[in-house]
Amino acid sequence: MSVRRWTTPLAALAALALVALAPGLLSPFMVQFAINLFMLAILAESWNIIGGFTGYASFGNVAFFGIGAYTTGILMTKAGLSLGAALIAAGLVPTAFAALIGLPILRLKGHYFAIATLGVAETMREVVYNVEITGAGTGLVMPITRTPALFYYLMLGILVAVTLVNVWLARSRFGYGLVAIREDEDAAAAMGIDTARYKTVAFALREASPASPAVCSRTG
């Protein structure tokens, strides 16, 4: 029994160690491919918090992803902040925006909620295309950073962190509350779960892991 108990963690650590050595073994193209792969995995893991655990099908993820990316770009190009400081803001700004926008739209359910999230995505797209600070239709010119390994490890670290959050949710009281909302929201409320607060926290938590390093890495 003890051998079986440690097999999975040891296998996970071995796989993680192998992935950590990849930048020194792979071509630049494959490193960039891995960065993009990590980015998509982060988006999927993040969506699982609101779509999987809570059962609210959200189609506006790209809007929050874009807010994180543009926050990074604007702070680096307009405010002269370092990459590290910009990335911290890239996590905080979309999280705050998600909490704010989540308060009204999470009152909706089913198709109405899904349509509302699409509306948020389209609204943000129009804002980005028509506001000067975002570069409007031409976009932002990011500073060149020729260190793909840095972004590889940033994305890998974020992916591990988001995965651990999902594991924690699967075993925590908060996660059980989200599953209860998914199965029957009215029954969950009757059992004393503050469904509005749980949903808002889950909606904001989904955005707490910025995937914007992938955008910056393409400037290298």
Distance of CA 187 to the CA centre of its chain: 29
Upper half-sphere CA count for residue 192 (Cβ side, 13 Å): 1
Q: Which distant-in-sequence residues (6+ apart) come within 8 Å of 132 by Cβ?
A: none
pLDDT above 60 for 17: yes
Domain ranges of the chain: 28-217
129-162 per-position pLDDT tens digit: 888 888 877 777 776 666 778 888 888 888 888 8
Residue 2 has pLDDT above 60, yes or no: no
pTM across the whole model: 0.81
1 has a pLDDT exceeding 50: no
Cβ–Cβ < 8 Å for 101, 115: no
Rounded to a whole number of angstroms, the distance between the first and last alpha carbons of the chain is 49
Comparing 34 with 18, the larger pLDDT belongs to 34
Label residue 39 by pLDDT band (50, 70, 90): confident
- What does the alpha-carbon distance between residue 131 and residue 195 come to, in Å, rounded to a whole number? 36
Tell me how far apart the alpha carbons of residues 92 and 98 are, in angstroms, rounded to a whole number: 10
Q: Closest Cα to residue 35, out of 124, 148, 125, 180?
A: 148
